[in-house]
Structure 1
């Protein structure tokens, strides 16, 4: 098999994995074919290989596919070894303890941010929203926007040149307005996602850098909008930045 054909086979297999992992419900063969644009023979061959390698599992009672134990095990290992977990988990613990709200740890994954840790506080009200493994657009929410805000300018330019997804009525998708948010976030050190990723959810995000000032990802704290009026957002944002400077340098 030629190198280009090998690459194409790998790309197709990855595409099928993504379709299964991002589907709202476990997809069947026809749904995978429709989402991938590939023919039945090719999709069946890919599915057979992925099932054989335990990357996917086929549920015999329904004929639908879900992520397999082999892939889940690899994902857990990748998460456990991510430098962000070792570097900033203490800070996430601290802000959740102080606010009693929901803390998220996110890492960049292409044009998205993926949640690699979720920590719930003791507040009686808790939103569902983002879970471990959830991918979100970089221009929405507290944690994702913190990654975009503190990324290099060329990364921001490339991201804003593409299509921008709207998730709620308050999603900001105008590149000029997003650049204004970026400038504001860089000045104060934190960003606020105000019901733009999920309705009724407000989150405050900060960037996380390593000792060489390389952006590792972000942390965010948030909950239902009634717990986060503007004055509390400012108070928690400033405290979050202060804790970051104290604990991470």
Structure 2
């Protein structure tokens, strides 16, 4: 029993070293040097970790790598709450405090999908409609803010694919769209009044993963009269704080962030 904490500590150190060492793995000698312990001691720990399926060992290259079982464990550990469960109290809280209709959208390829909403006191129509509604990335505040916070290569591909639909819906051109995306990224939110639904507007902030890529968006739908410039600044600040708190809880293995069909199944449940 007295040796267990030392073994556990060594195993944890070896996992961290291998995680930082890259996908090609490391040899026993390299690991022993990195952890500053005798090779026999390190070898015993490594052998036990292989037996427990925490590590893989390639007999030909003599290299140890992280095993797939580790990722399975990580998925289960992070799967206590999905994005929709995390965001539900956020939507309700913001609707109560702001008196606005809130939407939660996720990206599905070239589109944004609404997977949850909390209805405020005003009658609001939105681009996505109700839960399950879709809109091309680049139309509506939520879809625009997600497009703005994609890596450049992905953003370019979405623009190439969606531009004909965007021209048809609101007459936008590529130069105008790219200028608006740059402005949204600088501001950290989208508050553009699109004009497709007369008298209505909105504001959206991105929910970012650890690489800074938008995986979802929090969006409000409101009227032009109600969402004044003064209120917009305050609301944007509040929503950014909520989005940052949600981002810190995101499980990268959440199926809602990986395919829209799973998102719809969870939303329907």
Q: Return the offset for 1:153.
A: 0.9
Q: TM-score, normalised by structure 1?
A: 0.59
Q: 1:143 to 1:160 in 2, by over 3 A?
A: same
- Which structure has more relative contact order (CA 8 Å, sep 6+)? It is 2
Q: Deviations over 1:55-104 (max 9, x none)?
A: xxxxxxxxxxxxxxxxxxxxxxxxxx994213333332222222111000
Question: What secondary structure sits across from 1:191 in the alignment?
Answer: coil
Question: What secondary structure sits across from 2:204 in the alignment?
Answer: strand
Determine if contact 2:149/2:212 at 8 Å carries over to the other structure.
Answer: no
Count how many residue pairs are aligned between Structure 1 and Structure 2.
Answer: 165
Q: Does 1:165 align with 2:170?
A: no
- Match in the other structure for 1:58: none
- Match in the other structure for 2:141: 142
Query: Moved runs in structure 1, 4+ residues, more than 6 A?
Result: none
Q: Aligned partners of 1:127, 1:187: CA distance in 2, in Å?
A: 28
- Match in the other structure for 2:228: 229
Determine if contact 1:209/1:217 at 8 Å carries over to the other structure.
Answer: yes
Question: What secondary structure sits across from 2:145 in the alignment?
Answer: helix
Q: Aligned partners of 2:145, 2:222: CA distance in 1, in Å?
A: 17
Q: Deviations over 1:198-218 (max 9, x none)?
A: 222211111112456453211
- For the pair shown, which has the larger CA radius of gyration, 1 or 2? 2
Q: Does 1:91 align with 2:90?
A: yes
Unaligned runs of 5+ residues in structure 2 are: 1-79, 249-269
Q: Return the offset for 1:136.
A: 0.9
Q: Aligned partners of 2:105, 2:96: CA distance in 1, in Å?
A: 19
Q: TM-score, normalised by structure 2?
A: 0.55
Superposition pairs for residues 1-249 of structure 1, below 5 Å?
Answer: 83-121=82-120, 123=121, 125-129=122-126, 130-162=129-161, 163-166=164-167, 171=170, 173-211=172-210, 213-246=212-245, 248-249=247-248
Q: 1:208 to 1:197 in 2, by over 3 A?
A: farther
Q: Deviations over 1:210-244 (max 9, x none)?
A: 45645321110121221112232222112211333
Determine if contact 1:172/1:178 at 8 Å carries over to the other structure.
Answer: no
Q: Aligned partners of 1:172, 1:208: CA distance in 2, in Å?
A: 28
Question: What secondary structure sits across from 1:115 in the alignment?
Answer: strand
Question: What secondary structure sits across from 1:222 in the alignment?
Answer: strand
Q: 1:183 to 1:212 in 2, by over 3 A?
A: closer
Q: Aligned partners of 1:87, 1:151: CA distance in 2, in Å?
A: 22
